[in-house]
Amino acid sequence: MGSGFAAHAQRAGTVGLDGAARALLTLGPLLLLVRYRFPRTAVWGTSAVTLAYLAAGHPYGPVLLSVVVAGFAALVAGYRYATWGALGLLWTGNLLVAHVLYGRLPPGGDPPGSWGTDLFLAVWMVALCTAGELARVRRAERERRRREAEEAERRRAGEERLRVARELHDVLAHSISVINVQAGVGLALLDSDPAQARTALTTIKAASKEALGEVRQVLAALRSPGEAPRAPAPGLGRLPELTGQAANAGLEVRTTTEGSPVPLPPGADLAAFRIVQEALTNIVRHSGARTARVRIRYGTGTLGLLVEDEGPATGSGPSGGGNGLIGMRERAAALGGTVEAGPRADGGFRVHATLPLRPDDETAPPPRQEEAP
């Protein structure tokens, strides 16, 4: 219909819409059906069809829309050179038709084409290329942001898996070590000292109950990560409970505090507790020492932790493959602190941790791994 109105308005010097013209007007839009799968085919095909239509002397009109749509799709898809080449072919071919070959092409006796029309075609081609490039850039930016979001999501998922693995290791390693020691005591004293064996079994029951409770907290946090924590995360306030569990495993822990105790940020408090817990667990599992020393030093903006024993190393007990030391270092590094662990010069083993206490951490929410079910 649009080409029909154009033919009526441009009646002089043009050929009416015959069957060939209608076929070309139909072929152009049909090529748009493949513009997403084959953008270059669509833009070259519509340009060729449009040039053939104009070379046959038919009037300008909506036939150019097929080139616009195909060229825009090709530019957005990134085929800029193909689009520029196709548009250049169309414009150059139209120049030849309008100013060189017009005498040999229908309609007969028509004058040369208007340079104003050629300028108009050049302007809308430049506008088309500009709009297509802008759309391509915006699409590329959206794609980059989407990839970055996906990468960040994968990174968060990896960090969450690492956090859960570290938390489960810290929870289970300590409790299972206590259970392992007490089970050995109970088996050894089952016949000779039933009362002591009963005490060992009671300790096993308490340690296993606590381990199950903490594992439930970790799993509950995974199932409902959006819920607020219902129970506080463990901190140095539970240190007497921790030393009591170590005592039940046959390890006497002597605790000293230097400096003026201050309220700790939740993250630092949890990390300090887990570091001391893991250090004592390693002594129970891998050392023949029956005493250990824990020193807590409150400094200006830092918290120092020192856990050491006099050895000797026994090499007994289940091995965790060094994950405990790695976990301690990861916890400290997450807060900007450090952990140094290694044998002492006079025997035994030492773990020394330094954790920064930044004021902006004091309002940080407790880590999700300590949420209660």
Provide the token pair at 59.
């009037």
Instruction: Please tell me the least confidently modeled range out of 21-35, 213-227, 239-253, 267-281.
Output: 213-227
Last residue of a domain, one of 91, 113, 135: 113
From 73, 88, 113, the end of a domain falls on 113
Q: For residue 278, tell me if it sits in a domain.
A: yes
Asked whether the predicted pLDDT for residue 361 surpasses 90, the reply is no
Give the distance from CA 156 to its chain's centroid. Answer: 5
| Mean pLDDT, residues 66-87 taken together | 93
Task: For residues 183 and 103, state if they share a domain.
Answer: no
Region 241-261 average pLDDT: 86
- Average of pLDDT values for 336-350? 89
| DSSP label of 287 | B
Residue 137 covered by a domain: no
Q: Is residue 120 part of a domain?
A: no
Report whether pLDDT(369) > 80: no
Same domain, 188 and 86: no
Q: Are residues 88 and 198 in the same domain?
A: no
pLDDT of residue 277: 87
- Residue 38 belongs to some domain of the structure: yes
* Res 123 pLDDT > 50: yes
Residue 89 has what pLDDT?
Answer: 92
pLDDT for the residue 155: 85
Q: Which of residues 113, 132, 160 is at a domain's end?
A: 113
Please state whether the peptide bond connecting residue 265 to the residue before it is cis, i.e. omega within 30 degrees of 0.
no
260: three-class secondary structure by DSSP: coil
Q: Would you state the pLDDT for residue 312?
A: 81
Q: Is 182 in the same domain as 295?
A: yes
Does 360 have pLDDT greater than 60?
no
- 256 or 188, which is more confident? 256
Q: Considering only CA atoms, which of 154, 287, 309, 175 is closest in space to residue 234?
A: 175
**Mean predicted lDDT score pLDDT of the chain:** 80
If asked whether residues 262 and 366 sit together in one domain, one would say yes
Residues 67 and 203 in one domain: no
Overall number of domains in the chain: 2
pLDDT of 10 reads 60
Q: Residue 254: in which H helix or E strand, if any?
A: strand 252-258
DSSP string, 132-192: HHHHHHHHHHHHHHHHHHHHHHHHHHHHHHHHHHHHHHHHHHHHHHHHHHHHHHHHHHTTT
- Residue with the bigger pLDDT between 28 and 327: it is 28
Q: Which region among 3-7, 134-138, 216-220, 282-286 has the lowest average model confidence (pLDDT)?
A: 3-7
- Say which CATH number the domain at 308 has: 3.30.565.10
Asked if the model's pLDDT at residue 94 lies above 80, the reply is yes
Q: Establish if 155 belongs to a structural domain.
A: no
How confident is the model at residue 366, as a pLDDT? 42
pLDDT for 42 beyond 80: yes
In this predicted structure, what is the pLDDT of residue 318?
Answer: 44
- Same-domain status, 188 and 323: yes
pLDDT band at 84 (very low <50, low <70, confident <90, very high): very high
Of the candidates 136, 139, 25, 47, the one whose C-alpha atom is nearest the C-alpha of residue 93 is: 47
Query: Given a cut of 90, is residue 32 above it in pLDDT?
Result: yes
Full residue range of the structural domain in which residue 353 is found: 169-370
Q: Is residue 214 part of a domain?
A: yes
pLDDT at 92: 92
What angle (nearest 5°) sits at the alpha carbon of residue 187, between those of residues 184 and 189? 105
Pairing mode of beta strands 252-258, 302-309: unpaired
Residue 370: predicted pLDDT: 40
The reply to whether 290 and 361 lie within a common domain is yes
pLDDT for 324 beyond 60: yes
pLDDT at 278: 87
* pTM score of the predicted model: 0.50
Q: Are residues 317 and 243 in the same domain?
A: yes
Can you tell me the distance from the alpha carbon of 177 to that of 324, in angstroms, rounded to the nearest whole number? 13
Cα 55 from chain centroid (whole Å): 56
Give the pLDDT mean for 176-191: 76
Using a pLDDT cut of 90, give the percent of the chain over it.
Answer: 29
126 in any annotated domain: no
Whether 324 maps to a domain, the answer reads yes
Q: What is the pLDDT of residue 16?
A: 66
Average pLDDT over residues 291-315: 88
Q: What is the pLDDT of residue 227?
A: 52
Residue 265 sits in the same domain as residue 174: yes
pLDDT in tens, 204-243: 777 777 777 777 766 666 665 555 455 556 889 888 988 8
Is omega for the bond preceding 107 within 30 degrees of 0, making it cis? yes
Q: Which of 10-14, 210-214, 279-283, 315-319 has the lowest mean pLDDT?
A: 315-319
Q: Furthest-apart CA pair in the chain: how many Å?
A: 126
